Amino acid sequence: MTNLLSWVVLGAALLPGAALAQSGHDHRGHAQSRELPAPPPVFPTWMDDRGADHMFYKPGPYNWSIRNVPQFAADMYGTGVGHGIAYEALVTGQADKLEGPIYDSIVKVLKNPPRLPIDEGAILPTFKRRYGELEKVFDWAHTLHFQTIDVLAHRGWTDAQKEAEIERIWQFYSAQPYAITGLPLNMEVLDGYSYSGAFRTKYPKVNGLFWGYHWLQTANYDMLYRTPVETHGPQYQVVGERYRETELFNTEREFMPMTGELSPRFAKRFPEIANSFDNLHMLHDNVNDILATNELTEVQKKQQIRIAIWRVLATTHQGETAGEGEANSLHDHRYPFGMPGMGWMKGATESEMYMSGMGWMNMEECGHCSIRLPSGDEWGATVSANGWTMMVRCMLCARDMASETIGKAIIRAATEDPKQTLVLISDELGNWTSNLPEIVFLEVKADHPECNDWSKVFTSRRAFDAYIAENPDYKDAQPIALSEWQTRNEGTPETYRRINRPSPYQRNGEVGP
């Protein structure tokens, strides 16, 4: 990786006009550098403000629409309680109970989550007094989380209205000093300090819960984005089940969940918001590690948490640009091809990155046939199954990918009508139900580079006929009903390519007999 990035820097430096932003501070956090980060010359003044500086939601008719999916709302409220109980334990001398009775008490709450949001001050009073500036950043970012969800879950607005309001919410959020940057940050750098990994090593079960919360907080966006509100409840039956039964208790994940990994469509459309969520979640990881490490005094912990906050603030990166920056530094704002809503990951190249549970992937390519993804109104589909979400080119790719995966699945797909997104939900046997009752499929198997031409879904027979009339190559094709379509399986496309590289996290996932 070091050599790779050296080449990147060298290559960029040799090219005319190479854009390598110079940091105002030498705050390089080179991967594997075990130096303790130094503070900036000056912290933002608000960080020393003793006032509560409490802010609230941007007014709007959509607020609290998350409650349209009651179980989802409750699970999201539960994540706040879970975070709070753990943080309070870490600062009140109860760290030794974290993996035992405190873990049990958190799980009890998560299994019986609150029906209303809980003020975190009631759960972590000591932590809030000690790290008030951190709570301001957390609270404000959590407000961004909830308000963007509320807009997407709101009934009665068009997708265009929702997207415009989400842009306004981002501006509302970004205007405050506590805002986290929407620029992609280098995740390897931010997870490469001397204390990094301390929490997940000492408290793997509670770390699993934290990453489970962050899984839910990122996986939900593609569930909601440009999908009909009446599908949100049925979709959440699958997503919520996965969250409550598996993701919360997953201690095998190698890195925190990323928004672009779990909600790729939302992350492509709103990269700044996706990046801010990932940066928020990395701040959580940094804080957890700082609190868990034995190598720091209490004074040093306070200082390091302030530095961790400063690192991700929008003001720290003011004037910088996505896609630019000094490689392998705090100001490295590169992102992978095809995914502006994701920072640089450990071991990544410009087109390939490793995702825990998914392996190496190219976010510009179909997860099933490895052909470049389409764009625009005919964007293809996404498949959510087994805790991951992958983008695919066509309905065949979506179906076959889901049918080769254990468990329930969700396909979200473009139809001929940009205003109608198909949402298919399958049971454990691969039997699909559709939100659009009259759908028919075209499937005339040919080469995969054209699969999004010959494998499509239409909202009606009439739309199918119109497509056939415009595409005489398929004049002999018959419309396929969902009941027949779901029984098909064409196996692995000849174009599929596997990226044969080991995990950069070097964990051995073998299980024993």
Partner 1 sequence: MKNLIIATSLLALGTLGAVSPALVHEADCPYCKLKLVQNTNDKDNEVVVRFGNKKIEYRCIYCVFADQKKLTGDLIVYAPSEAAGKPVLVRRTGGNWTAPEGTVFLNAFRRHQECAGLSRTFSSKSAFDRYVAANNVANAKALTLKEMLAEVAKAN
Is 476 a binder of partner 1 (CB under 8 A)? no
Is 4 a binder of partner 1 (CB under 8 A)? yes
Is 241 a binder of partner 1 (CB under 8 A)? no
* Interface segment toward partner 1; rule CB under 8 A; list 42-50, 175-183, 317-325, 450-458: 317-325
Classify 488 in phi/psi space as left (phi over 0), alpha (psi -120 to 50) or beta: beta
Is 499 a binder of partner 1 (CB under 8 A)? yes
33: burial class by Cβ within 10 Å (0-12, 13-18, 19+)? middle
Is 272 a binder of partner 1 (CB under 8 A)? no
Among 2, 19, 115, 160, binds partner 1 (CB under 8 A): 19
Angstrom distances, CA of residue 435 to CA of 139, 229, 283, 348, 432: 36, 11, 38, 38, 10
Kindly report the backbone phi and psi dihedral angles of residue 493, in degrees, each rounded to the nearest multiple of 5, phi listed first.
-65, 150
Among 49, 104, 404, 465, binds partner 1 (CB under 8 A): 404
Element of type H or E holding 13 = helix 2-14
Residue whose CB is less far from partner 1, 49 or 350: 350
Residue whose CB is less far from partner 1, 76 or 322: 322
* Interface segment toward partner 1; rule CB under 8 A; list 37-45, 81-89, 197-205, 345-353: 345-353
Residue whose CB is less far from partner 1, 470 or 510: 510
Is 403 a binder of partner 1 (CB under 8 A)? yes
Report the alpha-carbon distance of residue 20 to residue 349 in Å, rounded: 18
Among 431, 461, 481, 505, binds partner 1 (CB under 8 A): 431
Element of type H or E holding 398 = helix 395-403
Is 10 a binder of partner 1 (CB under 8 A)? yes
Is 510 a binder of partner 1 (CB under 8 A)? yes
Is 405 a binder of partner 1 (CB under 8 A)? yes
Is 445 a binder of partner 1 (CB under 8 A)? no
Q: Shortest Cβ distance from residue 317 to partner 1 (Å)?
A: 16
* Interface segment toward partner 1; rule CB under 8 A; list 118-126, 190-198, 285-293, 350-358: 350-358
Structure token pair of residue 400: 């076959």
| Amino acid letter for position 376 | G
Spatial CA neighbour of 398 closest among 387, 386, 390: 390
Report the alpha-carbon distance of residue 330 to residue 150 in Å, rounded: 32
Spatial CA neighbour of 89 closest among 288, 308, 248: 288
Element of type H or E holding 449 = none
Residues that bind partner 1 (CB under 8 A): 4, 7-8, 10-12, 14-19, 321-324, 334, 337, 349-352, 359, 403-407, 426-431, 486-487, 489, 491-492, 494-501, 509-513
